[in-house]
Each structure stands twice: as C-alpha cells, then as structure tokens.
Amino acid sequence: MTNFLAVTWGWNEMVWCTVISIALVFIVLVLLVFVMKLFGVIFAQKPERKLAKVAEKPISDEQLHEEQIAAIAAALKLYKSALHDRESEVLTIQSLKRAYSPWNSKIHGLTQLPDRK
Amino acid sequence: MLNLLQSNFALESLEKFVSSMGFAAFFSEMGWGNLVMILIAFFLLYLAIKKEYEPMLMMTIAFGMLLTNLPGAGLFHEELFAGGHVHWDAFTSHEGIAPGLLDYLYLGVKLGIYPCLIFVGVGAMTDFGPLIANPKSFLLGAAAQIGIFATFIAAYAMGFTPEQAGSIGIIGGADGPTAIFLTAKLAPELLGPIAVAAYSYMALVPVIQPPIMRALTTKKERQIKMSTLRQVSKKERILFPIVIAAIISLLLPDAAPLVGCLMLGNLMKESGVVDRLSKTVQNELMNIVVIFLGLTVGATATANTFLSPATIKIMLMGIVAFGVASACGVLFAKLMNCFLKEGNKINPLIGSAGVSAVPMAARVSQKVGQEENPSNFLLMHAMGPNVAGVVGSAVAAGLLLSFLG
C-alpha cells in the first residue's frame, strides 16, 4: 500500500488530495444514485405492471365501479365507527399468591400511627 | 512515658496527607490549568443539563473532562497513548505508571471500537426509505461534504499538519462518531477539542443553518413544494444496506468499518427477523457505548492538550466547516434545479440537511420551509440528504484515512 505520508506534504499535495477526495466522494455517491435508480426500476415498477394488467381487463356490468366501491367503504366506515365495543363482562384481573414475607407485608409498609390511649 | 508533644510523627503524617491531596496539586506547576479545565467542564455540564445541548454525549464528555483533570485521581494517563500509539507494555508492566479506569476504557476509542458500535445503533434507528425513494438525495449528501475538504485546506493554512487538518475538517461532516473515529486514528492529541467542537456545533445546527439557508435562497425557492415520495418496498429496504455495504467497502476499504456497522444495524431493523437484536443495538448497546465514548473522549481533554491556541483555532474552524457544508448543500440543490424539469424541482432548503446531524438538520429544513409556506412539508424530503450525509461523511473519512492514515 502506498504510504502517502512518506511524501513530504506541501500545498501541491494538499490541493491534489482535496480535489481527488471531493471527486471520489461524488463518484462513489453518484454510483450509488445509479444503483438505487436501478433498484427503483426493478422493484417499484412491478406493482405498476400489475395495475396495468388489471386496467387492461374490460369492466363487466356485474363488476363494481370505483365510485361504488368508495361509497360502500365509506358507508362501512361510518357504520363501524358508530358501533360501541361490546365488553365481555368477564373480569380478567389475575390473582397473585405470594408467600408471606415481612419485606412485602402490607402492614409493615403502612405508617404506624402512635397509639394514644 | 510517651512524649507525644515532641514526636514529629503526627505532623509529618499530616503534612504527607495534605501534600497527597488533590487540592495541593492545584498550587503546583500547571495546577492552574487543571483548575481552568474543571471550570470548563462545569460550563459544559451546564450546557448539557440546563440548555440540553446534545446532553447524552455532552454530559459524559464534560464529566470525563472533570475526572481527568482532578489532580492525583490518576484515572487517565496521556503517556500510555503518547505518539498516537498504545504503549501495551505499560499496560502489562507492574512498574511505572499504573493504568487507571479511563485508560482501559479509552482503548475502545483508540482501537476504533466505540464509534463503530454506535454506528450499528445509528443504522438501526435510521430510516433510509426517503433516500431509496429519491436517490438524487445522495448528490446533496455529497455536496455537503465539500465543507470537510474546504476546512481541511483552511486548517492546513492555519498551521496544522495534514493529519490534524483532516481531523478538523471532518467536524464539517456533523457526525460525532465519524469525527472521533478519524481523529483517534490521525490526530489523537486533538480528540478532546474536536469532539467538543463537533458536538457543540451539532447542538447549534438550528442556530447556525437558518441564516445561511435564507441568505442563499430566494423566497420563491423556499416555497417550492416537492412531489410526494414513492412507496419503498420491503425488498428494497432489505437489499439497500447489503448492497451499499458491499459497494462502499469494495471501493473504499478504509470506510468499511463505519459503513459496514451502519448498514448492519439498518439490516437488523429492516429485515424484521431479529427484533431483539435491533432493539438492543438501538437502546442498551448504544447507551452503554455512549457512556464509555463520552467519558473517555472527555478524559483526553487534559490541561496540557486543551489549553492551547490550537483549541481556539479548532473551535473557529469547526463553525467554518459547518457553515461551508450547509452552504454547499443549498447551492448544489439550486444547481440541480437548473437541470430539473418544472414540477420535479427540489426545494434548496433540503440541501443543508446534507450535513449529517440526523435528524436535527432535516427538522431545520422543515421549519425554515414552513415559515415561508405553512402547507409545505419538507421533513421526509430532507431526511434523504440527511441520511445520505451520514454515508457521505463516512466515505469522506475513509478517503482521508486512506490518504493520511
């Protein structure tokens, strides 16, 4: 591997290093732009093709139109949002049984008031 | 009979105890330096706690600075890392310097372990979706890296060595772990000031960037509305980290540790099959490493290295680096608009997000954009250049390392 520091660094070397580095940063990232564009072409176009295929099929009279589907969806949404949740009315609080220990004893956790008799 | 009054034992013991106290060392040579450093540590703690300037790292850095400058504590010894090398013999020998806790922890910085582990966590927390949806953002991320190299030249002109200039320049990348990774390799003697400068300016991104963004754009440009980003498929999200890690590591092997770790973390998140690992690197691992990294980087800020004119120059250069990087991003976005069709134009405000500082820089783009047009939502568009900036600064660090390392 080239030892760049073996070269005495002066202004020439500094300027070249800067220019080359900026150029390389751009080259690497431009390369990544193309790679990601390629990604887009491969992966993002597939759903469009599917859609195109679907669109090519003629709509028969029995099939629903987009407006009808939207109207049904809106009606269902309104209907469901008007419904209240029905509770099962079953208590689901889990009962815990712990062995007695003075560390978790409730009586020891309470402030003991002085007995004024 | 015991003659207690005539015995010097008590006096000598007391004198010995007093002279061994850290307080006594404040009155020795360079003792004032420690005192000044402790005051600086207090100031940084104030910024971290009260002003919330990058508190996660600023607080630990400041506390490391405090610990290392407490005379007599012996937690950190610069001598063990003198000349930019680890003196392993001193760690194993039982004579001479007894290594302190921070000496051992600092090995993680010196060997480049902590920044890479942090990058695994950063990768797991980063959504590269906006970048995949709009790959042009990579160009804005590249343009913002010009700030690094402009500062590299400027620092050299101010009398720093090329290695030191490279380490100062990387502050412009606005990426703490990258700055620490590169500085620990090229100019470890400047690690303290560079880390403080990098994190201080990252916290000040909302103050530094808006005036530059407004000065370089017209009202009309700031109002540009960008089209909605396309949906990114899961396949793309999974393949992205694998492909990017492979390409960049093959092109720039010196950038492989940072980019590789960043992409590993992202793959953990996007694959969705290692949820436990993803959560661990985002939380527990990241938090533990941040503590070690902050403490040890702060520990390198001893009075000998920090209290010098070089620190002031680094602070000045740091702000230049941030300013130039932000300006280059904005100007490059304007340049791109010259070649883009009407309707596809980009809002130049997202260019400034090309400096990393995720997600602060993207938020600044959103905020400045909404000042001009409240119905304009630039956040997701700005996240593209923002995460491209992370990749770009890692590439720039790899290049500087290959030239100067």
The domains of chain B are located at 110-404
pLDDT in tens, B373-383: 888 889 999 99
Report in angstroms the alpha-carbon separations of B21 from B17, B27, B100. 6, 11, 17
Which tokens go with B261?
């770790």
Mutate to test the interface with A, among B139, B328, B399, B400 (most CBs of A within 10 A): B399
For residue B39, pLDDT beyond 80: yes
Q: Chain A contact for B20, CB < 8 A? A: no
Q: Angle at CA B326, nearest 5°, toward B322 and B330?
A: 170
Q: Chain B contact for A17, CB < 8 A? A: yes
The pLDDT value recorded for residue A1 is 44
Query: How many A/B residue pairs have CB atoms within 8 Å?
Result: 95
Tell me how far apart the 2 most distant CA atoms of chain A are, in Å: 98
Contacting A residues, span 34-73, partner chain B, CB-CB under 8 Å: 34-37, 39-40, 43-44
Distance from CA of B6 to the nearest CA of A (A): 57
Contact check, Cβ <8 Å, A22/B138 = no
The interaxial angle of helices A11-39 and B234-251, nearest 10 deg, is 150
The pLDDT value recorded for residue A51 is 56
Chain B positions touching A28 (Cβ under 8 A) are: 142, 248, 251-252, 395
Q: Are B369 and B347 within 8 A, CB to CB?
A: yes
The pLDDT value recorded for residue A83 is 72
> Which pTM does this prediction carry?
0.77
Average pLDDT over residues A23-29: 94
Q: Chain A contact for B136, CB < 8 A? A: yes
For residue A4, pLDDT beyond 60: no
What residue of A is the nearest CA neighbor of B240?
A: A36
Query: Which residue in B132, B145, B399 is closest to A39 by CB distance?
Result: B132
Q: Pick the residue with more confidence: B304 or B62?
A: B62
Distance from CA of A85 to the nearest CA of B (A): 32
Chain B positions touching A37 (Cβ under 8 A) are: 135
What residue of B is the nearest CA neighbor of A13?
A: B162
Query: Which residue in A13, A22, A34 is closest to B146 by CB distance?
Result: A22
The pLDDT value recorded for residue A108 is 72
Q: Are B57 and B176 within 8 A, CB to CB?
A: yes
Chain B positions touching A25 (Cβ under 8 A) are: 142, 145, 392, 395-396, 399
Chain B positions touching A5 (Cβ under 8 A) are: 162-163, 404
Report in angstroms the alpha-carbon separations of A3 from A8, B91, B394, B396. 11, 29, 21, 18
The pLDDT value recorded for residue B103 is 92
Report in angstroms the alpha-carbon separations of B327 from A28, B217, B394. 21, 10, 20
Report in angstroms the alpha-carbon separations of A31 from A20, B44, B208, B258, B334. 16, 42, 31, 19, 21
pLDDT in tens, B53-85: 888 888 999 999 999 988 888 888 888 888 778
Q: Are B385 and B144 within 8 A, CB to CB?
A: yes
Contact check, Cβ <8 Å, B139/A26 = yes
- Indicate the range of B23-27, B134-138, B215-219, B228-232 predicted with least confidence: B23-27
Average pLDDT over residues B194-205: 87
Over pLDDT 90: what percentage of chain B? Answer: 62
What residue of A is the nearest CA neighbor of B155?
A: A14
Contact check, Cβ <8 Å, A39/B236 = yes
Query: Which residue in A14, A29, A43 is closest to B138 by CB distance?
Result: A29
pLDDT in tens, B263-301: 999 999 999 999 999 999 999 999 999 999 999 989 988
> What distance in Å separates the CA atoms of residue A85 and residue B294, rounded to the nearest whole number?
51
Q: Chain B contact for A23, CB < 8 A? A: no
Contact check, Cβ <8 Å, A15/B153 = yes
> What distance in Å separates the CA atoms of residue B150 and residue B155, rounded to the nearest whole number?
9
- Indicate the range of B190-199, B240-249, B261-270 predicted with least confidence: B190-199
